[in-house]
Amino acid sequence: MFEINPTVTFEEIYTRHVELIKKQSEADYHAFHSKEVVRRCKDMVARVKRLGYAPGFADAQFPDSEQTSEQPVIADLRYKIDDAYAKKFCWDDKDKAKVEESESLPSLSATSSACVPDQNQSQNPREARFHFDPNTEQHLIASKAGKLYSDDPEIRKYYHQRYRLFSKLDEGIIMDREGWFSVTPEAIAEHIADRVVRHNISVVVDAFTGVGGNAIQFALKEAHVIAIDMDPVRLKCARQNAIVYGVEDYIHFICADFFSVAATWQANPKTAPKVDAVFLSPPWGGPSYLKSKEFDLETGCTPNGVHIFDASLKISPNIAYFLPRNTKVSQLIELSMRAKSRLEIEQSSLNTKIKTITAYYGKLAYR
């Protein structure tokens, strides 16, 4: 830049440098995640082969992760700036000390007392209020979670990606703390709904509905949804969120234990609803599931993931099981043997990163 324009300023050099670094970072980030997605796909196929099964996915179908740019974004750069020029833009030691001192002061942002949930609120389902009151339950309003969880790094990560969870988040979406890391990202939930609501499937049971991310997408496909959750606060969130998306009339909410509901329907088949498919997304034990090399259905899910599947079979043979990306493939195959059913395992990628898998059984499996 000096050769082209001898009067160029330091600010102009720095601005150009930032642009080049940003472009290179974006290129490196994309290349890294492209290779990571391919690696995880190949790992899944290898796990299936080790179990003695032939995967329905050929090596030629893998995307090419070795693609490189024709020219590097940044050439071999060298800087020659004389000391007199550099000192002009350096901080004085006293100024630097003042800045460091100000950064070390405690944060002045404090959570408003109006946003703190009442710890004495009864959790008895008979006493629970399913109507959302924005005046007394501000702690559930998702758009205000940035302040409420300002000191919670675990939730702050999900808050930064809030519009991937609900595109209408600012229009009245509500969630409790667990809802932030348990709700299915909207793009993935929409895709699963596309897969499930077909082949004359019109009644879907969402066995662990949480704050309603999946139930809403099923309803948007005009399926009738039976949303079950034993937590009255989370079910209240699901009901309010369904109102935001305008699908509350398509969803029937039941505050109960899924096992109890399944047993009741099995004991009274004449009065039980005709269910076409069951969607399962049980609690995975929080974000800690990624720390394990493999996710175990029996010990990782709460309650036991195998027992959940067995209870679902009593309702319908068509099951979609939403699980962590590192779930044991051998266990998913064992479930297909229990059900005497086809099995399809689908990996879901979001923002060039594999997030989850969905195991489809019965006629939900791809033919």
pTM score of the predicted model: 0.71
Task: Write the pLDDT tens digit of every residue in 177-199.
Answer: 999 989 999 999 999 999 999 87
Residue 280, token pair as written in the block: 């399962």
Phi-psi bin for 194: left (phi > 0), alpha (psi -120 to 50), beta? alpha
Provide the pLDDT confidence category of residue 77 given band limits of 50, 70 and 90. Answer: very low
Q: Helices in the chain by DSSP H: which ranges?
A: 10-50, 83-87, 93-104, 145-148, 153-160, 162-165, 177-182, 186-196, 213-220, 232-244, 258-267, 297-300, 305-313, 329-339
Does residue 352 or residue 147 have the better pLDDT? 147
* pLDDT tens-digit map of 10-48: 888 888 888 888 888 888 877 777 777 788 888 888 888
pLDDT score for 199: 74
Q: Average pLDDT of 41-63?
A: 79
Contact (CB, 8 A) for 294 and 332: no
Q: How many CB atoms lie within 10 A of CB 239?
A: 21
Of 12-16, 66-70, 290-294, the range with the highest mean pLDDT is: 12-16
Task: Report the b/e string of 275-288 with b at 16+ CB within 10 A.
Answer: bbbbbbbbebeeee
Model confidence at 169: pLDDT above 90: yes
pLDDT of residue 261: 93
What confidence tens digit (pLDDT) does each residue in 103-128 have?
A: 444 433 333 333 333 434 444 444 45
Decide the pairing of beta strands 354-361 and 343-349: antiparallel
Q: What is the pLDDT of residue 292?
A: 72
Tell me the mean pLDDT in the region 147-168: 89
The span from the CA of 311 to the CA of 307, in Å, is 6
CA atoms of 157 and 170, how far apart (whole Å): 18
Tokens of 266: 């099995």
What structural domains and CATH numbers belong to the chain? 113-180 (no CATH), 184-364 (3.40.50.150)
pLDDT, the chain, mean: 80
Mean pLDDT of all residues in 61-87? 53
pLDDT at 361 over 60: yes
Q: Which residue has the tokens 């809802």?
A: 179
